[in-house]
Amino acid sequence: MSQDPLKPEFWKEYARKGKEPADSRFLSPDFWDRLSESYDELEEDPFYQQMVEEVISAMRQRGALSPEARVFDVCCGPGNYAVRFAPHVKEVVGLDVSPKMLALFEERMKEAGFNNYRLIKADWFSYEPEERFDTVFVSMSPILHDLDSVDRLLGLAERFLVLVHWAGVRENLLQQRLVREVLGMEMRWKKAGIIVPFNYLYTLGYPGDLRFFCGYWRRKRPVEKELEHLLWRLEGQGVEVSSAQREKFLALLQKEADPYGNVVSQTRVRIGMVMVEVGGPCARQGPPETSSKP
């Protein structure tokens, strides 16, 4: 391993060492299909809404969203960002492995009256793109834990690469307390997040603008839905939950519920946004030779 943090090899090795076997679960279409029904709940949260609007505003100010731009939204989910890109760009192309997420994407676009979009159902890691885009965008996707993916994303971007990802804080006190009580363990999460691709891009000669969003996501769900989301998160971490443990989780959540059977869950988060102007005055013209080595 390179000992020089100013070399891309250092961050490639750092990312490989931090990668866990459970990451592969996040590549399954079924895994994301299960989340699709509750994915839009964040749309009702004021902090999330403000964050998304600030991301859109920053991209418009820099020219990453413009009337002639074609935007590639990788791992697009149900189109939370894409539906906001659409009024400002020539075309949005969304790629996702989950058919249910893509169905929500299309439904949302049609409801908003947009037809300047295309959908690609594919696994990012086996997808072979035949075109490049003015702006490549990724938000909150586990593919950003893999710096080989960052190389590919950078190669697809004609002008801008925009990444939105966790930035060191993801703390749901209710879920942590329940997991501690039922499983006797702490919930795990990746702490480095956006900082690793930011540093890696810097060593490649692409210094990016970095900003952070700090606040709370507040969700109100029926007990069963809260339970399924908790089990989904644990599965993503490679934790197997028995039937008896599931029943314990359910009983504890029922105690937390209001008279209408809903549970309020609050998550403290810090999220980072990196925007790189690939062809800008500060960017090196092409990555260094070392960046292509495994």
Residue 18: what pLDDT?
Answer: 65
CA dist 5 → 1, 10, 152, 283 (Å) = 10, 6, 21, 19
Mean pLDDT over each residue of the chain, to the nearest integer: 88
Average pLDDT over residues 42-68: 93
Q: At residue 173, does pLDDT exceed 50?
A: yes
Provide the token pair at 131. 């075109």
Average pLDDT over residues 57-85: 96
More confident residue, 211 or 24: 211
Average pLDDT over residues 92-97: 96
H/E run at residue 250: helix 243-256
Residue 294: what pLDDT?
Answer: 36
User: What gap in Å lies between CA 77 and CA 86, rounded to an integer?
Assistant: 15
Which segment of 162-171, 254-263, 285-294 scores lowest on mean pLDDT?
285-294
Residue 113: what pLDDT?
Answer: 97
Residue 60: what pLDDT?
Answer: 97
pTM: 0.89
Which residue is listed with tokens 């008279």?
A: 259
Q: What percent of the chain has pLDDT over 70?
A: 87
Average pLDDT over residues 278-291: 60
Average pLDDT over residues 75-100: 96
Residue 285: what pLDDT?
Answer: 52
Q: What residue type is 273 in one-letter code?
A: M
Q: What percent of the chain has pLDDT over 90?
A: 72
Written as one string, the DSSP assignment of 41-64 is GGGG-HHHHHHHHHHHHHHHHHTS
Report the topology of domain 8-170+190-216+269-280: Rossmann fold (3.40.50)
User: What gap in Å lies between CA 290 and CA 8, rounded to an integer?
Assistant: 7
Residue 191: what pLDDT?
Answer: 64
Residue ranges of alpha helices (H) inside 209-270 are 223-236, 243-256
* Residue 57: pLDDT band with limits 50, 70, 90: very high
